[in-house]
Chain A
Amino acid sequence: MPSYVITEKCDGCKGQDRTACMYICPNDLMVLDMDGSAGYGEMKAYNRDPQMCWECMCCVKLCPQQAMDVRGYADFVPLGASATPLRGTEDIMWTVKFREGSVKRFKFTTRTTPEGSADPLGGFSAHDDINNQALATEPASLGLDAVTTPN
């Protein structure tokens, strides 16, 4: 099953209405089995439609308990391997386990600015002539003196 929840680690996001995985899944696949009536465990999350799971790992990356991972699609992925992320504020670390047992670790930058800080104008000066071909931060944000026009 594509993304899955580890029973002993999941705490249903500490009794809130919505879990982090429910919040983030772009395909609305994650569900909290609040009272256990769906059969997945009381206050445990589950993926309601593994067949529609893109394995984007947005859920895995966001889970505050690291209670989620992905098991490659049964149709064509042999067992025994995994790629597990650990996402920080400016980088992400991946642990890739091979079927034959070896492990590789990678670390990649994710952003060069503090979380939340994106300035919509990017620090470029913006103009207010809506009739001009230049978009708000142009031409400065193009790195040019003027927007290119056809000859």
Chain B
Amino acid sequence: MANFETVEVNTDLLIIGGGFSACGAATEAAHWAKKNGLKIALVDKAAMDRSGAVAMGLSAINQYVGLKDGENTVEDYVRYVRQDLMGISREDLVYNIARHVDSSVHLFEKWGLNIWLDEDGKYVHEGRWQLMINGESYKILIAEAAKNALAEAGGEIYERIFIVGPLMDGNKCVGAVGFSIRENQFYVFKAKAVFIGAGGAVHVFRPRSVGEGFGRSWYPPFNSGTSAYFTLQAGAEMTCQEVRFIPVRFKDGYGPVGAWFLLFKARAISAEGGEYMVVRKEELNNWAPYGLAKPIPANLRNYLGMLDIDSGLGPLYMETDEAIQKIASEFKDDPKAFKKKMKELESEAWEDFLDMTISQAILWASMNVKPEEKHSEIAACEPYFIGSHSGASGAWVSGPEDMDTPYKWGYANMTTADGLFAAGDASGASSHKFSSGSHAEGRIAGKAAIKYIIEKGTEPNVDAAQVEKLKTEILAPLDLYETHKGETTDPEINVNYIMPRQFLHRLQKIMDEYAGGVTAAFKTSKALLERGLELMGLLKEDSDKQAAGDLHDLMRLWENTQRMWIAESHIRTMLFREETRWPGYYFRADTPKMDEDNWKCFANCRWDPNTGEWEMMKKDIWTMPGV
């Protein structure tokens, strides 16, 4: 075995991840750590400047409540999320994020983010909760503030270190283990508290494009379920693992549709010209009360479009030309003003893509599409795990201390594992956070984690034998490859092991066919899920036969294992919830209706590290009084 040096890092607060929630945690925790003489270490598998889902930039901020202008109330946002998630929402968490998110947005602006302003100097809204931004460097700005904060607090940043999983002392999280993807080094982080904010999960299902286009996922391919794996392995309770998100976006390029629907007010139609939101309106009655309230939940909007597709009315189109012409027509009597308006609209339409989904701009250019002249196809994408957006999966976390709920057992955003905090995609049942809300939630968790360290922090008790066992297990795939690779003329094909990409294809095929992926039109059933679980069992047995030839592949390999675990929690939770509540996300063909009497509750789960058994449990929904 290659000789891997073990590098040990001792700190007070370990922040795992370098994206929006982790940067929020770092920026806030640094302030409190400094005041209390505490240390922080942040670890990112990439470089903070561009790591995570906002690598490319964003063209809008999707959560801004606007409290200072009296536009909306925090309670309005609680109602909005409850409605969009068909009643399944941790209203205390949503409330807490919504009352703090505006300050993250104002900080972003101070750091250098340009938020569009109108003639009166007010933020330009894309929609009720959304602001338009020039966001190509959005991540750089947020990372800069976090890096500066950590520097001021004497914190440490570790980049290109991949974290595999937690170190536990009973039910207490005492650190994490991983490895460098640049040097032969095994890393052991020991801490008094740990924050996990390492993104959601992509490529768990087979994507629509399977060649080079495999990389054109809607959420980034480098989000591999690290957060979910971490909290599952810690034995922490998880929530909403069944609530995957199906985005409907511009086809293949996956460019955003938010500006088109909300700002440009474009219509979406079928190939025969019908607007499915109008033509299929009756279907919404079957999903009352949510289907009958506004705004119509995202999954139901998806579902109406899917009904058109199922009936052979595809492709679906976004009428971009109609929308642009309509807006510019206001100036049709003044050719100069008309030309100016068209130029403005064109710039906004292209910036929308270039700031966050460059591939869609390339796709338009390659098809000679000018949005003011020609419409574009939209389609449902493959499934994603994204608790920060319109999905809801993540760890079950303790709520804010000043709210009287059944969900408090510790510090804000602490999981059921002691000293383990989660935010952003890592924390569940608090949908519609997006970039700003994830940052705000990170700040909430970062502060709470420091408070925990001050009040309860103890020197981490790490079992050296546990560390050695993990080191051997994590590095074993390198040995496996070295030992057997010479046996065949092509090292990729060997009966003794499976290479990371090959393993991933197998996982994705199981999920696609049995767990409601794209080729199944998002439909599944008890029988399909049980069969999927059987095949997953065989895959799990083979997972320690994954082999890697280098550090990059070793990372890819452990990312696959992380994906496999979130996949299993997903199948088990879809099986547990005996109804269909989000038909536009997944459809249980054997229980096709919503069952408010029995299933208006959270479907939680927990994997017990001591017994290896899964426990499924219902948890009550608490509704905010008077909201």
B102 within 8 A of A: yes
Is B209 a contact of A72 with CB atoms below 8 Å?
no
Contact B363 A76 (CB under 8 A): yes
Q: Which of B365-395 contact A (CB under 8 A)?
A: 365-368
Known: A135-B28, A135-B447, A147-B100. A54 touches B363 (CB 8 A): no
Number of interface residues of B (CB under 8 A): 88
Contacts of A148 in B (CB 8 A): 67, 73-74, 99
Give chain B interface residues in 406-455, CB to chain A under 8 Å.
443-444, 447, 450-451, 454
CA distance A142 to B626 in the complex (A): 24
On chain B, the residues within 8 Å of A25 by CB distance are 46
CB contacts (< 8 Å) of A50 on chain B: these are 212, 215
Within 8 A of B (CB), among A44-84: 48, 50-58, 70, 72-83
- In the complex, are the beta carbons of A108 and B67 less than 8 A apart? no
State the CA gap A82–B447 with chains docked (Å): 45
* Beta-carbon contact of B134 and A109 below 8 Å: yes
Tell me which residues from 488 to 531 in chain B have a Cβ below 8 Å from any Cβ of chain A: 501
The verdict on A111 contacting B114 (CB below 8 Å), with A28-B552, A72-B363, A83-B354 known, is: yes
Please state if A119 and B55 are interface contacts (CB–CB under 8 Å).
no
Chain A, residue nearest B367 (CB): A78
Most chain B CB within 10 A, of A58, A81, A122, A135, is at A135
Determine whether the beta carbon of A136 is less than 8 Å from that of B447: yes
Establish whether residues B144 and A75, one from each chain, have CB atoms under 8 Å apart when the complex forms: no
Cβ contact of B359, chosen from A27, A72, A120, A135, cutoff 8 A = A72
Say whether A92 faces chain B, with CB atoms less than 8 Å apart: yes
Q: What's the nearest-Cβ distance from chain A to residue B57, in Å?
A: 8
Is B622 an interface residue, CB under 8 A from the partner? no
CB pair A99 B67 closer than 8 Å? no
| A135 x B444 contact (CB < 8 A) | yes
**Complex-state Cα separation, A51 to B213, whole angstroms:** 7
Taking a contact as CB atoms closer than 8 A, the residue among A81, A94, A111 that contacts B137 in the complex is: A111
Instruction: Check B106 for interface membership: any CB of A closer than 8 A.
Output: yes
Decide if B212 touches A54 in the complex (CB within 8 Å): no
Which B residues lie within 8 Å of A97 (CB)? 365
A80-B366, A118-B145, A141-B107 known; A74+B211 contact, CB < 8 A:
yes
Which of B47, B145, B359 contacts A55 (CB under 8 A)?
B359
Contact B624 A150 (CB under 8 A): yes
* Known contacts A54-B55, A130-B447, A142 near B102 by CB under 8 Å: yes
Give the contacts of A108-151 with B (CB-CB under 8 A): 108-113, 115-124, 126, 128, 130-131, 133, 135-138, 141-144, 147-151
A121, closest chain B residue (CB): B31
Q: Which of B50, B215, B362, B450 contacts A130 (CB 8 A)?
A: B450
Contact B136 A92 (CB under 8 A): yes
Q: Is A15 an interface residue (CB 8 A)?
A: no
Tell me how far the C-beta of A17 lies from the nearest C-beta in chain B, rounded to whole angstroms.
9
* Closest residue on chain B to residue A103 by CB atoms: B365
| CA gap between A6 and B126 in the complex, in Å | 39
Q: A72-B363, A76-B363, A113-B111 are in contact. Are A142 and B213 (CB under 8 A)?
A: no
Binds A, one of B217-225, B299-307, B314-322, B476-484: B217-225
Checking B35, B113, B368 against A111 with a beta-carbon cut-off of 8 angstroms, the contacting residue is B113
For residue A72, give the distance in angstroms from its CB to the closest CB of chain B. 4
Whether B103 lies near A135 (C-beta < 8 A) is yes
| Pairwise interchain contact A51-B211, C-beta atoms closer than 8 A | yes
Chain A contributes a number of interface residues (CB within 8 A of B) equal to: 76
- Which A residues are in CB contact (< 8 Å) with B36? 130
Contact with A along B90-119 (1 / 0, CB 8 A): 000001000110110011001111100000
Q: Which B residues touch A142, using CB under 8 A?
A: 67-68, 100, 102-103, 106
B214 within 8 A of A: yes
- Residue A14 is within 8 A (CB to CB) of chain B in the complex: no
Residues on A with beta carbons closer than 8 Å to the beta carbon of B367: 78, 99
8 Å CB contact of B362 from A72, A75, A106:
A72
**How far, in Å, is A73 (CB) from chain B's closest CB?**
4
B542 located at the interface, meaning its Cβ lies under 8 Å from any Cβ of chain A in the complex: no
B110 close to A122 (CB less than 8 A)? yes
Known: A121-B31, A122-B111. A138 touches B103 (CB 8 A): yes
* Chain B residues within 8 Å of A133, by CB: 400-402
Residues A117 and B112 in contact, CB atoms below 8 Å apart: yes
Residues in B neighbouring A116, C-beta threshold 8 A: 144, 148
A26 touches B366 (CB 8 A): no
> B residues touching A (Cβ–Cβ < 8 Å)?
27-28, 30-32, 35-36, 45-47, 49-52, 55-56, 67-68, 73-74, 95, 99-100, 102-103, 106-107, 110-114, 134, 136-137, 140-141, 144-146, 148-149, 152, 160, 181, 209-217, 220-222, 252, 346-347, 350-351, 354-355, 358-359, 361-363, 365-368, 400-403, 443-444, 447, 450-451, 454, 501, 552, 555, 624, 626
New A-B contacts (15) at CB < 8 Å, excluding given A54-B216, A142-B68: A24-B50, A51-B214, A51-B215, A72-B363, A73-B209, A73-B212, A74-B212, A94-B354, A108-B354, A119-B148, A123-B110, A130-B450, A138-B103, A142-B106, A148-B99
Q: Could you list 14 examples of A-B contacts with CB < 8 Å?
A: A54-B56, A54-B220, A55-B215, A72-B363, A76-B252, A80-B366, A81-B366, A83-B354, A109-B114, A117-B112, A130-B36, A130-B454, A133-B402, A149-B402
Closest 4 CB pairs of A and B: A143-B68, A75-B213, A113-B112, A122-B110
